[in-house]
């Protein structure tokens, strides 16, 4: 029997998600009646206290019922998840909000942390952590996924607290039976006081548009507990190596998987290649079998990872960065275009390429220069915003049939120790600065790169010309220092 129809669940979820018709004054702090220690009434309680409605989907029932709500792929993932290998709780790592939280019936404390912050502290800190809840705070558009997500709350009247949490990673389970969720998981908790504040009902709404066919809901009950006068330790500590049977099982299974893969690899050792003369032989004979030529000596000196020099770092001969894309002067039509742009739709805020003129001025512009015989590749750490650029030294002219793109066509030449890069062929989708300055297809960039004495500092100067949008050419200069830290994985996800 369903405890609540899905239409009711969706309506309730929507009602909680939308801003309430607030009373004359929105509470700026959680009422003290919520604060303190709350004890669970058990995983499978009997009659609810003071004649409250029965508990919906108690733990033992919920553990079996979640499968009814799951998408087919999630059912497959659950069936292919093994406790003996995949359970983070076995090694005292975080387990997410459910298994050590309300789904499993654990108690907790609500603590006023000041500055509009409410903390929910559970018993197993090392597995559950602390839920940091922002009262009446704005909801982030794209929070960084974490085990406990990002929580905002609001108080309704004097007896109801609603907590809305999103931004979870996908590493935890919805319950102990391995049911998965995605980063689209959203959890709304409604805490309601009754019985003069001695009891509290919690109704939980769960939705995940990727993992669930429909949202579901359940309830839990808590009673106020006396504040302890002596602390108790609740530490998840892994077994000593000689007693750690779980690790032994896990290692044994991993050894089996490794052996299976090794056997498959070994099966193809010495796999023969074609050795006859056929119609391809004449073509193959014309190919060069020589190794690729080494990178140009001058280009090799530029190889490495670079990051912006900190503002207070002294540079040789008193050099310093100068100029900014924000200072460019626009012609009247271009200025009018910039003023009509909604800055909330800045490409940089939506994981879109920003173009080299703007990218190289960013304070987070970490990049790597990879030289080969006749070109140098520039890889950016902010992959979505910069992707990569190819700069060619093997030709002296831009192709006549080049299709405009975000980075244009770049050719380069040496002028002494200065690498001069000439780039044209831009599309018109990028902005020249944070204020929405446009450019035309005639944008022309000339970049000059050189290492300062000592070889640790790269001087970068770029001049932008665009008769269709700029009053005059504009130049800015930046300095980058070599870094021993490789480029990190940094994928922007537009949410």
Residue-wise pLDDT tens digits, 91-136:
667 777 887 667 666 788 898 988 889 988 876 554 567 888 999 9
Which domains are delineated in the chain? 6-225 (2.40.128.20), 297-483 (2.40.128.20)
Helix/strand/coil percentages in the chain, nearest 5 = 25, 30, 50
Quick check: helix, strand or coil at residue 454? coil
Distance CA 410, CA 377 (A): 11
Paired with 457 in beta bridges are: 481
CB atoms inside a 10 Å sphere around CB 153 = 21
Backbone region of residue 399 per phi and psi (left: phi > 0; alpha: psi in -120 to 50; beta: other values): beta
Q: Are the C-beta atoms of residues 408 and 423 closer than 8 Å to each other? A: yes
Tens of pLDDT, residue by residue over 361-412, are 999 999 999 998 888 999 999 888 887 899 999 899 999 999 999 999 999 9
Q: Are the C-beta atoms of residues 389 and 356 closer than 8 Å to each other? A: yes
User: For residue 274, what pLDDT is reported?
Assistant: 78
User: For residue 326, what pLDDT is reported?
Assistant: 96
User: For residue 22, what pLDDT is reported?
Assistant: 43
- Cα four-point dihedral sign 348, 353, 358, 362: positive
CB within 8 A of 346, min separation 6: which ones?
431, 434, 436
Distance CA 27, CA 157 (A): 8
**b/e per residue, 87-110, with b = 16+ CB within 10 A?**
bbbbeeebbbbbbbbbbbbbbbbb
Four-point Cα dihedral 370, 376, 380, 386, nearest 10: -160
Q: Are the C-beta atoms of residues 140 and 123 closer than 8 Å to each other? A: no
CB atoms inside a 10 Å sphere around CB 67 = 13
Distance CA 275, CA 278 (A): 9
Q: Can you give the three-state secondary structure of 130-180, one letter per residue?
A: EEEEEECCCCCCCCCCECCCEEEEEEECCCEEEEEEECECCCCECCCCCCE
Paired with 479 in beta bridges are: 459
User: For residue 67, what pLDDT is reported?
Assistant: 93
CB atoms inside a 10 Å sphere around CB 16 = 18
User: For residue 280, what pLDDT is reported?
Assistant: 61
**Which stretches of the chain score pLDDT less than 50?**
1-15, 17-24, 126, 495
Task: Give the CA radius of gyration of the chain.
Answer: 31
Distance CA 220, CA 105 (A): 7
Average pLDDT over the chain reads 84
**pTM value?**
0.61
Q: Are the C-beta atoms of residues 458 and 475 closer than 8 Å to each other? A: no
Q: Are the C-beta atoms of residues 86 and 178 closer than 8 Å to each other? A: yes
Strands (DSSP E) found in 157-308: 160-166, 186-194, 199-207, 216-225, 304-308
Q: What are 263's two structure tokens? A: 């056997």
């Amino acid at each position: 029997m369903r405890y609540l129809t899905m239409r009711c669940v969706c309506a309730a979820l929507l009602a909680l998600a939308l801003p309430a018709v607030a009373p004359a004054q929105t509470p700026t702090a959680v009422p003290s009646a919520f604060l303190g220690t709350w004890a669970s009434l058990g995983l499978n309680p009997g009659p609810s206290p003071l004649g409250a409605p029965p508990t919906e989907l108690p733990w033992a029932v919920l553990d079996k019922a979640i499968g009814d709500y799951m998408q087919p792929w999630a059912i497959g993932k659950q069936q292919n998840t093994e406790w003996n290998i995949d359970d983070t709780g076995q090694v005292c790592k975080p387990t997410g909000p459910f298994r050590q939280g309300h789904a499993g019936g654990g108690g907790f404390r609500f603590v006023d942390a000041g500055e509009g912050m409410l903390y929910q502290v559970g018993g197993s800190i090392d597995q559950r952590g602390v839920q940091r809840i922002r009262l009446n705070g704005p909801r982030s558009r794209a929070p960084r996924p974490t085990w406990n997500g990002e929580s905002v709350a609001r108080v309704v009247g004097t007896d109801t607290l609603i907590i809305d949490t999103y931004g979870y990673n996908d590493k935890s389970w919805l319950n102990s039976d391995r049911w998965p969720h995605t980063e689209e998981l959203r959890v709304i908790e409604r805490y309601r006081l009754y019985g003069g504040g001695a009891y509290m009902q919690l109704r939980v709404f769960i939705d995940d548009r990727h993992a669930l066919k429909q949202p579901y809901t359940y309830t839990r009950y808590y009673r106020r507990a006396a504040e302890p006068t002596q602390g108790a330790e609740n530490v998840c500590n892994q077994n000593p190596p000689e007693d750690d049977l779980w690790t032994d099982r896990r290692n044994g299974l991993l050894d089996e998987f490794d052996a299976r893969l090794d056997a498959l690899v070994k099966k193809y050792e010495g796999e023969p290649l074609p050795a006859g003369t056929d119609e391809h032989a004449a073509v193959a004979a014309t190919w060069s079998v020589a190794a690729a030529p080494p990178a140009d000596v001058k280009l090799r000196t530029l190889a490495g990872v670079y990051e912006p020099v900190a503002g207070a770092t002294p540079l040789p001969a008193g050099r310093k960065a100068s100029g900014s894309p924000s200072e460019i002067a626009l012609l009247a039509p271009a200025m009018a275009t910039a003023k009509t742009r909604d800055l909330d739709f800045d490409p940089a805020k939506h994981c879109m390429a920003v173009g080299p003129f703007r990218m190289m001025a960013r304070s987070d512009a970490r990049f790597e220069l990879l030289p080969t015989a006749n070109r140098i590749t520039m890889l950016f750490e902010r992959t979505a915003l910069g992707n990569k650029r190819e700069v060619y030294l093997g030709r002296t002219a831009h192709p006549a049939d080049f299709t405009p793109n975000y980075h244009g066509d770049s050719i380069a030449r040496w002028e002494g120790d200065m690498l001069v890069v000439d780039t044209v062929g831009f599309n018109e989708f990028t902005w020249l600065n944070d204020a929405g300055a446009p450019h035309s297809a005639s944008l022309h960039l000339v970049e000059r790169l050189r290492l300062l004495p000592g070889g640790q500092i790269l001087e970068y100067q770029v001049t932008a010309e665009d008769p269709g949008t700029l009053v005059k050419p504009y130049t800015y200069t930046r300095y980058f220092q070599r870094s021993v830290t490789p480029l990190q994985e940094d994928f922007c996800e537009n949410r």
